[in-house]
């Protein structure tokens, strides 16, 4: 009996310490923040003169179909010395089918472009919140005024999943050289001009209840 009481008294401090283990959220900003990963995919296309070799544009389109190219992807041409200007226009035409413009910023790839070829590079970003969900801390024994270890996981994970262009989480979105005030007030103007749902009044009920 005495031994059982002794073991129980030793276990209580261990349980209290264990309850304070896990992720600490000491402030109003969660430690769980979106992280943006970037991956680049490259395809070398043969050129003939300054244009793409016959059939290479179809091969490029098939590659982009397989990648499901879309909004948020950045496409650039790596052509040292700009030796194939017509090929740039051809690649831009294929990219335009997906609603994108050819970027002028070409990322650095692992290997140099071979002679007689141009390299098309697709850069794709993905946002996620590592470590979520996080229930590592027992909130029922919280003595350090921490928020839940899972605090911020839901909001930031939804933000990372919904952001159309993950790069905006890193440096924001550029406003562009031209700002149209009519465009920025379009939603407010539509809201003000919309007729109220109750503008027609209530219909009087007939005596028969129909």
Q: So what's the architecture of 37-125 in CATH?
A: 2-Layer Sandwich (3.30)
- Please determine, for residue 127, whether its predicted confidence score (pLDDT) is greater than 50: yes
CB atoms within 10 A of CB 50: 14
Annotate 154-210 with DSSP letters as a single string.
Answer: HHHHHHHHH-SSTTHHHH-----S---HHHHTHHHHHHHHSPPTTTT-PPPPPTT--
The answer to whether 105 touches 78, Cβ cutoff 8 Å, is no
Confidence of residue 76 (pLDDT cuts 50, 70, 90): very high
Among 125, 126, 111, CA closest to 43 = 111
pLDDT at 147: 87
- What own/partner pairs with CB < 8 Å and gap ≥ 24 does 157-166 have? 157/128, 157/129, 157/132, 159/34, 159/127, 160/34, 160/127, 160/128, 160/129, 161/127, 163/34, 163/127, 164/71, 164/72, 165/71, 165/72, 165/125, 166/36, 166/72, 166/125, 166/126, 166/127
- Averaged pLDDT score across all residues of the chain: 83
Among 69, 71, 99, CA closest to 166 = 71
The residue among 12 and 72 whose pLDDT is bigger is 72
Sign of the C-alpha dihedral computed for residues 95, 96, 98 and 100 taken in this order: positive
Among 107, 142, 134, CA closest to 122 = 107
Copy the structure tokens of residue 167.
């790069």
pLDDT at 176: 65
**137-172, pLDDT tens digit by residue?**
887 777 777 888 999 999 999 999 998 889 888 887
Query: What is the pTM assigned to this prediction?
Result: 0.64
């Amino acid at each position: 009996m005495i031994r059982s009481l002794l073991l129980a008294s030793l276990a209580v401090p261990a349980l209290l310490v264990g309850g304070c283990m896990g992720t600490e959220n000491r402030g109003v900003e969660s430690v769980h923040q979106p992280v943006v990963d970037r991956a680049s995919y490259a395809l070398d296309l043969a050129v003939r003169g300054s244009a793409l070799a016959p059939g290479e544009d179809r091969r490029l389109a098939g590659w982009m179909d397989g990648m499901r190219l879309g909004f948020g992807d950045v496409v650039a041409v790596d052509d040292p010395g700009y030796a194939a200007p017509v090929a740039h226009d051809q690649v831009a035409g294929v990219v335009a089918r997906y609603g994108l413009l050819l970027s002028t910023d070409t990322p650095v790839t692992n290997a140099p472009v071979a002679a007689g070829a141009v390299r098309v590079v697709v850069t794709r970003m993905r946002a996620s919140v590592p470590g979520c969900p996080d229930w590592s801390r027992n909130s029922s024994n919280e003595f350090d005024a921490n928020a839940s270890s899972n605090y911020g996981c839901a909001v930031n994970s939804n933000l990372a999943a919904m952001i159309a262009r993950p790069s905006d989480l890193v440096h924001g979105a550029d406003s562009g050289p031209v700002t149209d005030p009519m465009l920025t007030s379009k939603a407010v103007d539509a809201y003000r001009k919309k007729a109220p749902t109750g503008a027609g009044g209530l219909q009087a009920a007939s005596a028969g209840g129909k």
